[in-house]
């Protein structure tokens, strides 16, 4: 059986491994438009050591992803953060990130009391007794709209957009509740179904009380790879046994009497095709094979972003936080977040000096498209100094890399869940073709891996995700 996979990002490479493990005789060709594999995973070869300038961590609590990494022989490469807290820059001050919230949404005013006005505090505490929320079971709506109506703008801009924006490169207004915080949508559904007074604070309190009490030593929430994500994408490429073609832009996939023709790369014919490209490209490539599915997926929009990675000779004066999220209503700050990588990760601290990543760009803004490199670096250094007092120019800037991520992340808006569901059912009617990627069922690394493995299983006509055979 001959398989073509379009895209050698995390999804495409994971799918290649899954196909190879299930059908060791399969011939797998992977076509990648860029001159390297990995997509949004990119470990740059800094002189001071491998440095991630795309994704830099994964949710370590996901046992399926951990098992998958182990099966690739990466168990010993996984490292954990220092445990230093993250900060929020709001009101011109560095503040502790609020605890006991759901993505920055509190159940009472207590966790956010240091961040908002008296008026907002009173509004949050009065919300549970206010008119019930007009929530329809199964619906989705924008997180920003929900939070602004119930708690006001300060919570939406200061905590929720900062926390959700850190994951999705979008503000709370451009993200759906069910799409990004599904447990909150389910808690609201439950309140309606049980005829209870449906409010945002009641739903948040249900979620917070369902959190298990910590037992024993706290387990790390995040993990990373000692040598950066290159360890993962190189292991995947190796394990897949696939022929990987770089600089191989695929412009069309069409049906032939004996399979599918992939135009671009080797211009060859295959029995089955798996598309692992961003949503707009996938929509384009499905145009002739699955016009309805193509039309549906076209509506998924992408957010651009930029990472400026900076290595300083000295870490003196850099505060002891893992990083800082910037409130969306903070004037005069261009960055949306800083990761103090050498504070967050002990293995990076071993290099000496300081490693800091500045992140820019939210859905709808033009920063990644129009801001030149010198300006981005100036913004990164100026914002860092304004927020922390750390003078990066004085500390000696020895290495720097500006990485633009055009279409870096799909925007999980209020239509997203319904769009993906509709797309899936439309594509299911086309035998021999599957699609996966960060647009499908979550943008985080474990979610992308899970969706890619499931898509590969469907392509082989086997919907059971079996145990991992290393």
Ligand X SMILES: Cc1cc2nc3c(=O)[nH]c(=O)nc-3n(C[C@H](O)[C@H](O)[C@H](O)COP(=O)(O)OP(=O)(O)OC[C@H]3O[C@@H](n4cnc5c(N)ncnc54)[C@H](O)[C@@H]3O)c2cc1C
Interaction site with ligand X (CB under 6 A): 6-12, 31-34, 39-41, 54-58, 249-250, 276-278, 281, 305, 307, 405, 408-409, 437-438, 443-445, 448
Residue that the structure tokens 């300006």 belong to: 375
User: Using the 8-state DSSP alphabet, how is residue 38 labeled?
Assistant: B
Residue 381 or residue 450: which is nearer to ligand X going by CB?
Answer: 450
Residue 255's DSSP bridge partners are: 260
Residue 201 Cβ vs ligand X, minimum distance, rounded to whole Å: 30
Q: Which helix (H) or strand (E) holds 232?
A: helix 230-240
Closest distance between ligand X and the C-beta of residue 260, in Å?
Answer: 14
What is the torsion angle, in degrees rounded to the nearest 10, for the CA atoms of residue 96, residue 114, residue 385 and residue 56?
Answer: 30
Nearer to ligand X, 8 or 19 (CB): 8
Measured from the CB atom, is 392 or 446 closer to ligand X?
A: 446
Q: How far is the CB of 464 from ligand X (least distance, A)?
A: 23
278 versus 323: smaller Cβ distance to ligand X: 278
Q: 264: which 2 tokens?
A: 């671009």
Shortest Cβ distance from residue 13 to ligand X (Å)? 8
DSSP category for residue 111: G
Q: Which residues contact 196 (CB under 8 A, 6 or more apart)?
A: 202
- Dmax (CA) for the chain in angstroms is 70
Q: Choose between 270 and 405: whose C-beta lies nearer to ligand X.
A: 405
Q: How far is the CB of 210 from ligand X (least distance, A)?
A: 24
Work out how close the CB of 447 gets to ligand X at its nearest, in angstroms, rounded to a whole number. Answer: 8
User: Which residue number, 40 or 178, has a Cβ lying nearer to ligand X?
Assistant: 40
Q: What's 125's DSSP letter?
A: H
Q: CB-wise, 222 or 460, nearer to ligand X? A: 222
Residue 157 CB, shortest distance to ligand X, in Å, is 22
CA distances to 5, 17, 52, 68, 157 from 457, rounded to whole Å, are: 14, 11, 30, 15, 41
Q: How far is the CB of 409 from ligand X (least distance, A)?
A: 5
In the bound state with ligand X, the residue whose beta carbon lies nearer, of 232 and 414, is: 232
Q: Could you tell me which of 316, 312, 284 has the C-alpha nearest to residue 298?
A: 284
Half-sphere exposure of 12 (CA within 13 A, CB side): 31
What b-and-e string marks burial along 131-140, b requiring 16 or more CB atoms within 10 Å of the CB?
eebebeeebb
> Roughly how many angstroms between the first and final C-alpha of the chain, as a whole number?
22
Reading the block at residue 243, the tokens are 């022929």
DSSP 299-357: T--EEEEEEEEEEES--TT--SSSEEEE-TT-TT---SEEE-HHHH-HHHHTT-SEEEE
């Amino acid at each position: 059986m001959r398989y073509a996979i379009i895209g050698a990002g995390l999804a495409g490479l994971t799918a290649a491994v899954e196909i190879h493990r299930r059908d060791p005789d399969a011939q797998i060709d992977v076509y990648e438009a860029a001159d390297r594999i990995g997509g949004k995973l990119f470990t740059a070869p800094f002189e001071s050591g491998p440095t991630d300038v795309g994704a830099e961590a994964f949710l370590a609590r996901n046992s399926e992803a951990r098992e998958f990494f182990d099966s690739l022989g990466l168990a010993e490469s996984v490292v954990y953060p220092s445990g230093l807290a993250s900060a929020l820059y709001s009101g011109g001050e560095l503040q502790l990130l609020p605890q006991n919230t759901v993505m920055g949404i509190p159940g009472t005013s207590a966790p956010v009391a240091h961040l908002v006005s008296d008026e907002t505090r009173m509004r949050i505490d009065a919300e549970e007794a206010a008119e019930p929320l007009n929530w329809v079971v199964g619906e989705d709506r924008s997180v920003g709209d929900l939070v602004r109506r119930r708690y006001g703008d300060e919570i939406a801009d200061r905590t929720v957009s900062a926390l959700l924006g850190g994951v999705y490169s979008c503000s709370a207004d451009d993200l759906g509740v069910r799409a990004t915080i599904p447990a909150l949508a389910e808690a609201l559904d439950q309140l309606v179904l049980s005829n209870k007074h449906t409010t945002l604070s009641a739903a948040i309190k249900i979620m917070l009380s369902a959190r298990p009490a910590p037992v024993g030593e706290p387990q790390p929430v995040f993990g990373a790879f000692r040598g950066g994500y290159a360890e993962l994408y190189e292991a995947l490429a190796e394990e897949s046994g696939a022929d990987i073609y770089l600089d191989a832009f695929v412009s069309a996939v069409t049906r032939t009497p004996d399979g599918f023709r992939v135009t671009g790369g080797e211009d060859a014919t295959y029995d089955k095709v798996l598309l692992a490209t961003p949503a707009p490209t996938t929509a384009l490539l499905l145009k002739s094979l699955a016009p309805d599915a193509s039309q549906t997926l076209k509506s998924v929009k992408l957010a651009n972003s930029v990472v400026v990675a900076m290595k300083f000779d000295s870490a003196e004066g850099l505060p002891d936080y893992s990083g800082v999220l910037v409130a969306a209503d903070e004037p005069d700050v261009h960055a949306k977040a800083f990761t103090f990588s050498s504070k967050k990760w002990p293995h990076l601290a071993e290099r000496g000096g300081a490693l800091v990543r500045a992140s820019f760009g939210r859905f709808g803004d033009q920063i990644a498209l129009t801001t030149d490199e010198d300006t981005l670096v100036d913004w990164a250094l100026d914002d860092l100094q304004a927020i922390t007092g750390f003078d990066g120019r004085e500390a000696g800037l020895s290495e720097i890399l500006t990485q633009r991520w055009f279409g870096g992340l799909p925007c999980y808006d209020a239509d997203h869940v319904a769009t993906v569901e509709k797309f899936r059912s439309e594509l299911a009617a086309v035998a021999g073709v599957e699609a996966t990627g960060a647009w499908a069922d979550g943008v985080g690394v474990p979610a992308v891996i899970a969706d890619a493995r499931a898509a590969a299983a469907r392509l082989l006509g086997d919907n059971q995700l079996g145990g991992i055979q290393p």
